[in-house]
């Protein structure tokens, strides 16, 4: 099998699975209990927090473990800006876990403004800045788009926002960006940042919300006061251990120039076969979105699956919804959107496998076209 849907989720690294298993079977104590075995479990959680924080340019106390990035993104709206007055500015390129929250706040009568995307995939920075004023409470801009891999220049955007609206809280959804772009969190200049472990070789069900020191948020969950009182609930100790192990493994094996090379070669290959790459701005290197004219992505996806190639088409979590909001915001017409596939890579992705898969995709697309004509 050639698995090219790593933006949806990744296979768990052996080291991450081992770390989770060790905690489940041996160090399974409640980290909030007071006997020494439990204290050791708590120390392990804090060590994981320190290790993850160090790897991403944050301070340990700035990381809250959550159940997933969807929870982190919801918390941005519900716990960070709930009681603030003012407008919210976001983009048309957000993942649904931000976008649907923006829509929810808008339907409550809050002034929510959406910045357009450029045809090339990144947010139209000047339009975004025009929407921001001294009453802006929150600006949320996705770091790397999950459909196209296009990178928004968050550090520059954050700097420009600060100049215009020093009081605005700046959030970025970094699920497809963390460790996959070179910038660390302290250099990004954001107040809040969301990430998810299952995109980097850890299990599904663990994420983080970065809350920069000095930013006040109300609790996400109320109860026993875990996570500095901000997210009650017994910590998911096995998955926290797995997350830290995955971060370590990812950093040890990631090779951005290899990814960029694979993506570049694929783009050249597909374009030589009459297809076009969607999103031409700077890319993380881990995602490519390609339009294969005349072939519906859904049909192609199932046909190549039968040949051992797994590819994506749009975000996995919006798979049941018709159309594609992000590609449409980039100016693609509905017919082109139906024909867009997404290939996404991981640290173990092999360049020969990828080119093999691309050949299978093109041959299968050709066969589908011939059947349609016949
Ligand atoms: N944000 C982006 C950009 C994503 O790609 C995803 C998942 O695909 C999410 C948020 C949601 O992450 P989770 O599955 O951890 O809720």
Q: Ligand 1 centroid to 218 CA: how many Å?
A: 22
Residues ≥6 apart with Cβ < 8 Å to 271: 277
288-345 pLDDT per residue, tens: 999 999 999 999 999 999 999 999 996 544 444 556 999 999 999 999 999 999 999 9
Rounded Cα distance between 163 and 160, Å, is 5
Query: Best of 317, 319, 326 to mutate for ligand 1, by most ligand atoms within 8 A of CB?
Result: 317
- 337 torsion bin: left (phi>0), alpha (psi -120 to 50), beta (else): alpha
Tell whether pTM > 0.95. Answer: yes
- pLDDT recorded at residue 320: 44
Pocket of ligand 1 (CB under 6 A): 68-70, 95, 97, 142, 146, 173, 175-176, 196, 207, 315, 317
Q: Ligand 1 centroid to 28 CA: how many Å?
A: 28
75-133 pLDDT per residue, tens: 999 998 766 789 999 999 999 999 999 999 999 999 999 999 999 999 999 999 999 99
Q: Whose CA is nearest to atom 4 of ligand 1?
A: 175
Q: Which of 115, 73, 109, 120 is nearest to 90 (CA)?
A: 115
Query: Best of 72, 74, 77, 146 to mutate for ligand 1, by most ligand atoms within 8 A of CB?
Result: 146
159-194 pLDDT per residue, tens: 999 999 999 999 999 999 999 998 899 999 999 999
């Amino acid at each position: 099998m050639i698995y090219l849907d790593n933006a949806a989720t990744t296979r768990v690294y052996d080291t991450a699975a081992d770390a989770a298993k060790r905690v489940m079977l041996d160090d399974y104590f409640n980290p909030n209990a007071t006997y020494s075995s439990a204290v050791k479990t708590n120390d392990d959680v804090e060590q994981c927090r320190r290790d993850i924080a160090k790897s991403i340019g944050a301070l340990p106390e700035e990381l809250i473990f959550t159940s997933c990035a969807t929870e982190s993104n919801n918390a941005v709206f519900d716990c960070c800006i709930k009681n603030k007055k003012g407008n919210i500015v976001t983009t048309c390129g957000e993942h649904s876990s931000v976008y649907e929250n923006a829509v929810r706040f808008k339907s409550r009568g809050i002034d929510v403004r959406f910045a357009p995307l450029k045809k090339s995939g990144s947010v139209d920075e000047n339009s975004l800045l025009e929407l921001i004023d001294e009453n802006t409470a929150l600006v949320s801009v996705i770091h790397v788009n999950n459909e196209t891999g296009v990178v928004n220049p968050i550090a520059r955007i954050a700097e420009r926002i600060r100049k215009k609206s020093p009081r605005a809280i700046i959030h970025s959804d970094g699920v497809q960006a963390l460790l996959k772009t070179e910038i660390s969190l302290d250099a990004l200049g954001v107040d809040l940042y969301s990430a998810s472990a299952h995109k980097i070789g850890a299990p599904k069900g663990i994420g983080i919300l970065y809350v920069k020191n000095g930013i006040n948020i109300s609790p996400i969950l109320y109860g026993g006061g875990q996570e500095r009182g901000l997210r009650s609930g017994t910590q998911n100790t096995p998955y926290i251990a797995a997350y830290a192990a995955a971060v370590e493994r990812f950093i040890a094996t990631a090779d951005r120039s290899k990814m960029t090379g694979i993506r570049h070669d694929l783009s050249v290959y597909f374009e030589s076969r009459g297809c076009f790459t969607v999103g031409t701005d700077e890319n993380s290197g881990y995602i490519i979105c390609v339009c294969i004219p005349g072939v519906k992505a859904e049909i192609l996806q199932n046909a190549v699956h039968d040949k051992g190639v797994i590819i994506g088409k749009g975000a996995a979590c919006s798979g049941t919804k018709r159309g594609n909001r992000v590609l449409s915001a980039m100016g693609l017409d509905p017919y082109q959107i139906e024909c867009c596939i997404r290939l996404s890579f991981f640290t173990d992705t092999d360049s020969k496998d990828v080119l093999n898969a691309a050949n299978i995709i093109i041959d299968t697309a050709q066969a589908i076209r011939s059947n349609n004509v016949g």
